[in-house]
Structures are given as structure tokens and as C-alpha cells.
A = this chain, B = another copy of it.
Amino acid sequence: MSDTNVSASPSRRRFLATASGLVAAGVASPVLAQDAKIDAKALPPNVADWSKALGEGVVAHPYGSPSKFEKHVIRRDVEWLTASRESSVSFTPLHELDGIITPNGLCFERHHSGVAEVAPQDYRLMIHGLVERPMIFTFDDLKRFPRVNRIYFLECAANSGMEWRGAQLNGCQYTHGMVHCVEYTGVPLKVLLAESGIKPSAKWVLAEGADAAAMTRSIPLSKILDDCLVAYRMNGEMLRPENGYPARLVVPGWEGNMWVKWLRRLKLGDEPWETREETSKYTDLLADGKARKHTFVMDAKSIITSPSPQAPIKGKGFTVISGLAWSGRGKVKRVDVSVDGGRNWREATIDGLVLDKACVRFYAQTQWNGEPWLLQSRVIDETGYVQPSKDDLRKIRGVNSIYHNNGIQTYAVKPDGEVENVEVS
């Protein structure tokens, strides 16, 4: 990216004041008054209707909801993508969010048999297999344990999966919306397993969900003891039903399918179980017919959320490019942005918290005056891993898989500010 295209130059400030639609003028500004979209009666120093009457009182909504003006900010699905909504996915509206925390009501869903409606008083978690003392915990038991609070991203292994064979879905909600980032509260599994004891021969843990799919995955014991949690809260409150209420596994940095929801059972064993979800599914079918399996870690990935197909550029001039980046291997180190399809790159600013295995928010300040852009971002994590292009991924993986597509996304920005998901070679 040339400095001509992306610039945080000192001239930005004057530009904003003169050319971006912001008005430098007297209070009763004739420039504003001439704008057909503006109702002069609503302007300061005039008094709008909402300043003239009492509004709703407290606890009108004992559990609050978004403004009626934000009804479009919702999870959405793609009906043709799956055969039924019980085994389907809904997507986080990334283009409508900023910062790193995802509000609970907008966290994407991925179910294999719909949402199991688990009554907490009847919830049980069994720990058995190669343990010294098989145990069953009630939910009240779980809540008595020491717990920790950690902000982590969770990404479905199939996020961006439709894009292996080229640009399919128009909008980062659909191409990248199977990711969210919340603060979890949970009991470290090393604490729970200290209760049951671990037999020396144990090397793997089978995690099973209480949904009708009995979602079941094998997880190395070393990972379980390293940083996995049995979580029962997200962003302070209890897990939402669609996210595993009352308790789910948290497997930081690893594919979302392993974060078993409505967690029912943990069995310790000496080898992986080779369940359906780690053989016929959640493996990457390569061009030669062999499959990669146990592809647990989610490689570093980034996505520009604004501008994007669902969030076009509304006016020429000063523009903030905004996006999310994450890595399953640790912390994000750097994010670059390109407006020419990856020929030139410029380092973006990472704002706010940079946490292990959590999303970061990045920004790049620039000018856009109607020229066509091929907009991209790429992340580099603390291990030095550089997010690859989709073509580089395809050279190695082929196009049979639906999982682990962390290739660089390209947007075509058109002269009218509209944005389209495109492929570049």
C-alpha cells in the first residue's frame, strides 16, 4: 500500500473538517439546513421531541434489549447451506460490531441437533475412564470450585469454508461470522481432574455433549491440563442456551467443534476415539484423497469488517478501515492492510487489548476518493506465522475441504463505495 493511498498524515484533521460531510460553521448552519436529509427542528439548539417528555422508567425492561433502531443487527443464517436448521449455523454480524467483545445475543450458533434445553438442577458432568475416582458433578458442585476468567476467541473450523472454491458469500457475516470473542468464567480442568485423579496411562480425553447428536471429540490430555476450562459463564452471566448452557468445554485456540456444549461426560483414555466428528467430519480432504485429521489449532486469521459488503463506504474522504484478527497459537503480533490486492502492505494499528488466543481489533486510517480498491488484511502472530493467501492454501490443500480456510480475504471496493467479496490471483 502506498503512502498516497493510506495516510495518517497531519492533513487528515483539516480534511475531516472540510470535505467529509462534517460541518465547520456557525451553530445555525446554512450548510446543514440545506441538506435535504436534515430536519432543522431536530437540531440543537432546537429541542427534539425526546427532550420534551419523560421516557420509559427503570426496569421497564428488567433484562435489557438493543434499541428498536438496531433491529437489523442480528445473527443470520444461509438457508441453502444446510439441510435443516437443527444441524446448521447462524453467523455473527461482524460488520455491525467493533471492539473485541461479542455481546452474548450475537454470538454465532452451530448446532448438530439443535439447542439442548438442559435444566441446571438435572445437569450432571461425569468424569470417568482412566481416573482414580470416577465422579459425577452437579451444577451446584461445579459452581463451588475455584474458577478463572479469560477472554478467548471461538472459531468454528468451517468458518470461511464455502470460500475454498472461490468467492461464494457476499459479506463478512457469512464468510467469517463463525467466530466470537467473550469473557468466559470456568473451572480449569486441571482442578476438576485433580479431584478424580488421573491414571498414568491416560493420554486423551473424550468430551461428549448432552445434545441429541451426542457431539463427541477426542482432546489430548496435555491440552486439557494446559488451559481448558469447564465454563458456565460468558461475559459475566450464565452461558446462553445456544452456547452450551449450563456448561461447555473451552479449548482455547482450537477448533470450535471441540468446545463441546452441554458438556455431559469426560472420559480419559490412552488413545483418540476416532469419532465421526474427527474422521468423516472435521478433517481436511486433500487433493490426493488423503485427509488431514487432528487439525486442532485454528491458524492465524484476519478479516476487515468495515468497509465490507454489508458495510459499504458511505462517503468519500477520510475512511477508517476496521477489522478483527486472532491466532490459535497465541497473541497477534501485527496486522497489515493492502488496498491493491496484496502488492503493497501497510501496518495497521492494533487498538486495545492484545490477549492470548483472543481477537484483537485493528484500524487503518486512510483516504478514499472513489478509486477502485482490492482490500485485504493479513495477520502475523507471535510465532511468526503469516496468514497465507487463499491460493497458497489451495496449492497445498486442494479445494475438497470445508475446514481451516484462513486465507486472506479480498474485497473489491467500487467507485460508488459498494464492496464485493472477490478472488484475486
Which residue in B58, B144, B264, B361 is a CB contact (below 8 Å) of A318?
Answer: B144
Q: Which residues of B contact A125 (CB under 8 A)?
A: 44
Please list 19 pairs of residues, one from A and one from B, whose beta carbons are closer than 8 Å in the complex, sorted by A's number.
Answer: A20-B141, A25-B134, A42-B124, A44-B265, A52-B212, A55-B114, A55-B115, A55-B212, A57-B115, A58-B77, A58-B111, A59-B75, A60-B115, A61-B242, A63-B105, A64-B75, A64-B104, A97-B237, A100-B183
* Pair B96/A237 contact, Cβ less than 8 Å: yes
Copies in the complex: 2
Set B51, B105, B120, B183: member contacting A214, Cβ < 8 A: B51
Q: Please indicate the chain B residues that have their CB under 8 angstroms from the CB of A85 in the complex.
A: 57-60
Are B114 and A352 neighbours in the complex by a CB distance under 8 Å?
no
Which A87-112 residues have a C-beta within 8 angstroms of B?
A: 88-90, 96-107, 109-111
Residues of B within 8 A of A124 (CB): 42-44
Q: Which of A147-155, A199-207, A283-291 contacts B (4 or more CB under 8 A)?
A: A147-155
Extra 20 A-B pairs, beta carbons < 8 Å, given A100-B149, A101-B183: A13-B194, A20-B144, A21-B138, A25-B134, A39-B122, A50-B117, A51-B214, A51-B264, A55-B111, A55-B211, A56-B117, A58-B110, A59-B74, A65-B240, A99-B183, A99-B236, A100-B236, A103-B103, A105-B105, A149-B361
- For residue A314, CB closer than 8 A to chain B, the reply is yes
Which of A26-34, A271-279, A399-407 interfaces with chain B?
Answer: A26-34
- With A53-B212, A133-B25 already in contact, the answer to whether A66 and B63 are too (CB < 8 A) is yes
Contact, CB under 8 Å: A241 / B67: yes
**In contact, B134 and A56 (Cβ under 8 angstroms):** no
Give CA–CA (A237, B69) in the complex, Å.
Answer: 12
> What residue of chain B has the Cβ atom nearest to residue A113's Cβ?
B54
- A26–B58 contact, CB under 8 A? no
Q: Does A382 contact B (CB under 8 A)?
A: no
For A264, the closest partner residue in chain B by CB is: B44
A-side residues, CB < 8 A to B, are 13, 16-17, 20-27, 29, 32, 37-39, 42-45, 48, 50-70, 73-77, 84-86, 88-90, 96-107, 109-111, 113-122, 124-126, 128, 133-138, 140-141, 144-151, 182-185, 194-196, 210-212, 214, 233, 235-242, 245-246, 262, 264-265, 314-315, 318-320, 351-353, 361, 363, 365
